Structure 1
Amino acid sequence: MKKKFIFITLLLIVGILLSSCSNYNFKPTIEYKIQDFTMIDQRGETVTLDSLKGQPWIAMFFFTNCKTICQPMTLNMSIIQEKLVEKGLEDYKIVGFSVDPERDTPEALAKYLDFFTVPDDSKWHLLTGYDQKFIEQFALQSFKTLVKKPENDDQVIHGSSFYLVDENGVAVKYYNGYSEEENSANAVPYDEIALDLETLIENMKKK
């Protein structure tokens, strides 16, 4: 009788834990409506805000000639995708906006992505096909972040955040996309990002 009671108790505890995991309550922390755009990705395909709608996506700003944080950020994004693959998720995209569009042709972007071992490159859109002035105002208006190319310098100033954008084209949360201290409070929250994206997908399917 005692063993039966212990077994039932364990089942109840497991049930509670599973229920708490499935009922994770995603809370948006920002509400940035992304402005319309038409761009070209690393495959030479046209990508618009409308073409991305219907699925959530993770966004970042980067450039291929970056000598500091861009490669680590791209690597971190590939780690996040590994976690998405482990969860069996399919309904998402990964979007990178080049902050150096004159240099970053589709060919340069394709070569850059080939440098990384990404689990599924079909989900990635590394974007270009606009001028420097556009990306600077687009980053500020849509993501509230600074992009600036100084004169006489081939390095572009930009932020290191990752942004979670919902299926309607609204940025709802941002995270550290780069950290030198992976065990600190400022570490890249890989699991949190994957869980938030999973929750957005689940909520989207319930609508």
Structure 2
Amino acid sequence: MKQKIIGGVCMLVLLLAACGSPIETNMSRDVNSLEAVNQEGEKVTLPKDYDGTYWIADFIFTSCETVCPPMTGNMARLQQELKEEGMEVPLVSISVDPETDTPQKMKSFAEPYQPDFSQWNFLTGYSFQEVKEFSIKSFQSPLKQLENSNQVAHGTSFYLVTPEGEVIKSYNGTEAGSLDQIIEDLQTLKQNQ
């Protein structure tokens, strides 16, 4: 009888450990590999180069006429708030128009937002097909080149990725109110590491 109780307790502990996240999550996807270059032309491999740390990702492009400027503004505010909280969390903005977005264009697009490039990478250097598959498979976020246009339809979320390369939560990247939730979730996760 005693062995059954101990066995039952062990199983319960294993189950709780396996499914328990200290924050409320809304995703569970492994980030596939993507070879890219950043705004300086330096090679970056996702998710490998961010192994061992939490990071935040979004999808943008430099000629975007709608959601990308406010999303990038929110990411800039997030970077500032992370610094104020003393948190070193990498930020990654991934171009969905890599044929147009050279590293130089990505850097020029970013500069008005005053990013700290040591913490925030703007990635390009792959094909549209590669980033389309990456976005769908890793982030459940479809991309579509709009006909007779230089615009690309893409998701507007910010994504929280774990040190193991798993996307566990998406947030509305166009709403400044999401930033407080991201900070709160990161603080909770870091306290529970």
TM beyond 0.5: yes
| Structure 2 counterpart of 1:95 | 92
Aligned to 2:112: 115
**Alpha-carbon shift at residue 54 of structure 1 (Å):** 1.1
Q: What's 1:83 paired with?
A: 81
Q: How far off is 1:137 after superposition?
A: 1.3
Counterpart of 1:14 in structure 2 is none
Matched residue of 1:145: which SS? coil
TM-score, normalised on structure 2? 0.84
Where does residue 189 of structure 2 map in the other structure? 200
* Mapped pair 1:59 → 2:57: yes
Distance 1:147 1:188, change over 3 A: farther
Residues matched between the structures, number = 172
> How many percent identity over aligned positions?
40
- Aligned match of 2:4: none
User: CA offsets per residue over residues 127-147 of structure 1, 9 Å max, x none?
Assistant: 111111111111111100111
Give unmatched runs, 5+ long, in structure 2.
1-20
For residues 121 and 195 of structure 1, the distance between their equivalents in structure 2, rounded to whole angstroms, comes to: 23
- Give, in whole Å, the separation in 2 of the partners of 1:25 and 1:51: 25
In structure 2, the residue matched to 1:28 is 25
Query: Are 1:190 and 2:179 counterparts?
Result: yes
Instruction: Name the structure 2 match of 1:154.
Output: 150
Residues 51/116 of structure 1: CA separation in 2 closer, same or farther (3 Å cut): same
TM-score in terms of structure 1 length: 0.79
How far apart in 2 are the matches of 1:199 and 1:125?
24
| Gap regions ≥5 residues in structure 1 | 1-23, 180-186
Rg larger in 1 or in 2? 1
1:172 equivalenced with 2:168 (yes/no) = yes
Q: Supply the AA of the counterpart residue of 1:103.
A: T
Aligned to 2:76, the other structure's residue is in SS state helix
Match of 1:71 in 2: 69
